[in-house]
Structure 1
Amino acid sequence: MKKLFISLAWLSSSFALAQQPVNPSTQSDPVKSSTLIISGTVTTSPKPAVEKNELKYNLNESGSHFFKITFLNQAWLRYNQSNPGTTVISEPKDNTFDIGLRRTRMQLFGQISDHVYLYFQFGMNNFNYLNGGFNPNASSNRKIHAFFHDAVGEYVVWKNKDYLKIGSGLTIANGLSRFSQPSVSSIMSMDVPVFAQATVDQTDQFSRKLSLYARGQVGHLDYRVAISDPFPIQTSGSALPTYGPNSVFALKGHHKQFQGLLLWQFFDKEAHQTPGYMTGTYLGAKKVFNLEAGFITQKNAMVSVPTAADTVYQNMNLWSVASFLDMPVNKEKGTAVNAYLGYFYTDYGTNYLRFNGIMNPASGVASGYVSGTQGNAFPMFGTGSVVYGQFGYLMKRDLFGTSNGTLMSYIQVQIADYQRLSQKMGVYNVGLNYLIKGHNGKLTLDYQNRPYYEAVSGSSQLSSGGRRGQLTLQYQVFI
């Protein structure tokens, strides 16, 4: 690991040096200059160097062949009202305050030739004082959570055209929706709607899968289709699911997963460089309005045991339709809007339900409470349907003065109708971004209001017992 970071430091410095003009007469002077001739006198006036916003090494003179490196860090300070029964390292806790790293990533990617593209992403997620989980019966190792998220090689069939790109490797390029493959450095809200990453850390690696895919843009159509080789649930790192009347991921059998996403782009075309990743907001730099439809399907992915004599395998079938809008309101002022509305049909088999809490600040739940409901968890995934919407407004450019940034407010609504819940579930977020330097440096304050759930006597149904809140401050730095 030490050698890796030494190599990256050397690579970063090499990028910077490679972009400097090699001119013996000016190489020692970091300030570029311009020369004026006035009445026969030569006068030199300093000109500030152009500020760069990326670490990029050009492999040819035009820059069409290049290699880049990026770094992202999202640090959270969070106060959470705990769900009933929450324990933190075996002590009851009504509320928690924690500091953590939601995401820490580095990307290395580039167009190596007219037809060859390479992409890697390395990093870690959900690193707080519990390090993503707590096992009181085992020794812990807080150094094991950084891993390769992506490792993809891609072939561009037509030179300088996005008509068809074929890739394979570990990748997030998949179906269902744009939020199943989000570019997390550019999202409008503090966090993405994670339910759209349908099998996250169950049969994938933090939403990435070993896949063979084709993607491209032809006219107004943006498409991606993939065949994936899902991981068995036995390799998820969590306790194995117990067979019963409610569907779980199967412990037997292995079938390929098929998925696809189609988008019709009415105005500007969206970015198409990195495999899969879709921008959260362009902050008014583009005029984007898309309609999308996506799906994921896998044979016999789920299993339930309704009676002692029956073991029933069921297909996993997920699909969605949605609209996405991101465009300027007033170009002179720099104001813009962002909006998304989607419907998700999620069939994981009979009565499937999974609680999840993002970077959960709790380690357990007391006896007598529903398993997995500790901390900030809520029923994030389930068989049924979900309506998700978000809306944001970007205020005028340089709201606080030149180079002092601006604000973008937003709301998020997730309404789920899952089989095992006795009523519909609503999770609501409101937030405010302080865009110090666009997405490269921003502060986000987010408040979430969510329900918590209790068992219904004599039934497998769960009922909401009340609501809890969570307040989070995120500081994002990205280059």
Structure 2
Amino acid sequence: MFMRFMFIQKLFTAGAVTMLAATLHTAAQETPKKPELLKDGKIWLNEDGSNYFKFTLVSQVWIRNTDMNPGSTINGYEKKNFTDIGIRRARMQAFGQIADRVFIYTQFGMNNFNYSSDRKAGFFIHDITGEYEVAKQKLSLGTGLTAWNGLVRFAAPSVGSIMGLDAPLFEQTTNDVTDQFLRKLSVYAKGKLGKLDYRVVLSSPMNPLKANGYSPAIGPNSSFSPMPPKMQTHGYLQWQFLDQEANTTAYATGTYLGTKRVLNIGAGFQYQPDAMWHSPAAGDTVTTAMKHFAADIYYDAPLNKQTGTALNAYAALIHFNHGPGYLRNQATMNPATGTNNTTLINGSGNGYPSFGTGNLLYLQVGYKFKNNLIGTSTLMPYASLQHAAYERLDKAMNYWDAGVNWLLKGHTSKLTFSYQNRPVYNQQGAGDATLTTHKGSYVLQYQVFLN
């Protein structure tokens, strides 16, 4: 009797285990494991991946030797030439389609950290934007601190895919005066209507009194007014003839390295009433609108798909109207801390009059050699020219940059060597500033980009 009971117990146990294993096997077949990651690094929030979240990270470090503008000083000591190392950009993006029709985007990081920067400078928020898709692809509405800007393509450049050393920063017309490194507090509408890609933006200008180096003093030459600002409207339209570019985020690709065939023609504007002021005579205050208009063309395509050669070209024609006599210098990660030359228009270090009232032509071109030119890497030389006829300058302002990218692994890992040449202007008494000489900088940048 006992032996029969033990036999029945073993039989029941074995059957239960077999049934359990079969049940689990069937359940595994009927309920496939939900994937968590796509090949491009998106975290899936639903089964088909239409809702997702993604992180990116980019680091750009410069090693630079600069011929300083005449009279430049470092901690009170005059320097004619200086070598430094700096972090041009360190950025992290976090964004995604977190629900049907709902998109969120944020970016934080830092810019221009070198030997003279404040220590322990924390990352700050560059962007934080929420967006709702009203009509699929055709219309999305968004708001926040955002880089959705008008006027031209590289008013919001994708820094990880810049073709050369840096973006054409003058296309960011109010950079860090009434915005935060091009980002504005805005509401925007964007979308695609067939091959027409559009954006229209309404922005609340930031207080210029918070801008580095801003002076509220009024004079004969136009400057940003500290009066309570009126809203700024701007927009950009482009017709995309060949491959369609994504408009998921505001940032425009520098070069696709021949992976797409893109030909776009665009036009844009930027307008703010009473944004500027000047005093043509003692006791008079005249306010003027800021009015900019532009057209540009962008081409990026493979020349030979089998070998991987490619061509990138971009041209922009811009009419800037900041009011009479407006000039503003650009001094990227300025290596100087001061100047003892009061007649120099350029200011200290590597500054030059990049922004102004007048007309500007910008050209850039690059050629990507065949894949595996040097082992598994290749080269992409490039050149660019900023040619501007600005008021208060006796001769056209020509700033050029030429160099070569060593694409160790596309934009993921690349080394860029560049020579930048800038004009130097002196102001002696009344009349236009006089072009007196040119100065240059040699820059080596290493970029790592997790995308």
Deviations 1:194-235 (A, max 9, x none): 110000000000000000000011111000000000101012
Q: Which runs of 4+ in 1 moved over 4 A?
A: 51-54
Q: Percent identity?
A: 47
Is 1:219 aligned to residue 205 of structure 2? no
* Matching residue of 1:376: 350
RMSD in angstroms over aligned alpha carbons? 1.6
* Kept in 2: contact 1:397–1:405 (CA 8 A): yes
Amino acid at match of 2:330: N
Is 1:464 aligned to residue 441 of structure 2? no
* Kept in 2: contact 1:258–1:297 (CA 8 A): yes
Relative to 1, partners in 2 of residues 1:391 and 1:405: Cα closer, same or farther, differing over 3 Å?
Answer: same
Relative to 1, partners in 2 of residues 1:455 and 1:422: Cα closer, same or farther, differing over 3 Å?
Answer: same
* Matching residue of 1:306: 280
**Correspondent of 1:121 among 104, 107, 117:** 107
Relative to 1, partners in 2 of residues 1:339 and 1:371: Cα closer, same or farther, differing over 3 Å?
Answer: closer
Is 1:182 aligned to residue 157 of structure 2? yes
* Matching residue of 2:399: 427
Larger Rg: 2
Is 1:262 aligned to residue 237 of structure 2? yes
Is 1:317 aligned to residue 291 of structure 2? yes
1:9-48 to 2 correspondence within 5 Å?
Answer: none
* Matching residue of 2:4: none
User: Following TM superposition, by how much is the alpha carbon of 1:278 offset from its aligned partner in structure 2, in angstroms?
Assistant: 0.7
Deviations 1:292-335 (A, max 9, x none): 00111000000001111210000000111011100110000111
**Correspondent of 2:123 among 143, 146, 162:** 146
* Matching residue of 2:76: 90
* Matching residue of 1:102: 88
Is 1:58 aligned to residue 30 of structure 2? no
Whole-angstrom distance in 1 between the partners of 2:164 and 2:85: 19
Whole-angstrom distance in 2 between the partners of 1:416 and 1:176: 17
* Matching residue of 2:17: none
User: Following TM superposition, by how much is the alpha carbon of 1:239 offset from its aligned partner in structure 2, in angstroms?
Assistant: 3.8
* Kept in 1: contact 2:346–2:425 (CA 8 A): no
* Kept in 1: contact 2:270–2:293 (CA 8 A): yes
Whole-angstrom distance in 1 between the partners of 2:217 and 2:169: 24
Deviations 1:76-114 (A, max 9, x none): 000000111111111000011010011000000001112
What is the DSSP-based 3-state SS (H/G/I as helix, E as strand, rest coil) of the residue aligned with 1:62?
Answer: coil
Task: Report how many residues are paired.
Answer: 416
1:183-198 to 2 correspondence within 5 Å?
Answer: 183-198=158-173
* Matching residue of 1:173: 148
User: Following TM superposition, by how much is the alpha carbon of 1:371 offset from its aligned partner in structure 2, in angstroms?
Assistant: 6.0
* Matching residue of 1:10: none
Is 1:357 aligned to residue 342 of structure 2? no
**Correspondent of 1:232 among 207, 210, 229:** 207
Whole-angstrom distance in 2 between the partners of 1:387 and 1:320: 10
Whole-angstrom distance in 2 between the partners of 1:393 and 1:83: 32
**Correspondent of 1:205 among 158, 180, 196:** 180
Whole-angstrom distance in 1 between the partners of 2:70 and 2:343: 8
Unaligned runs of 5+ in 2: 1-23, 26-36
User: Following TM superposition, by how much is the alpha carbon of 1:53 offset from its aligned partner in structure 2, in angstroms?
Assistant: 6.7
Whole-angstrom distance in 1 between the partners of 2:345 and 2:395: 19
Unaligned runs of 5+ in 1: 1-23, 26-50, 132-140
What is the DSSP-based 3-state SS (H/G/I as helix, E as strand, rest coil) of the residue aligned with 1:416?
Answer: strand
* Matching residue of 2:422: 450
User: Following TM superposition, by how much is the alpha carbon of 1:420 offset from its aligned partner in structure 2, in angstroms?
Assistant: 1.1
**TM-score after normalising by structure 2:** 0.90
* Matching residue of 1:366: 340
User: Following TM superposition, by how much is the alpha carbon of 1:240 offset from its aligned partner in structure 2, in angstroms?
Assistant: 2.3
* Kept in 1: contact 2:343–2:428 (CA 8 A): no
* Matching residue of 2:30: none
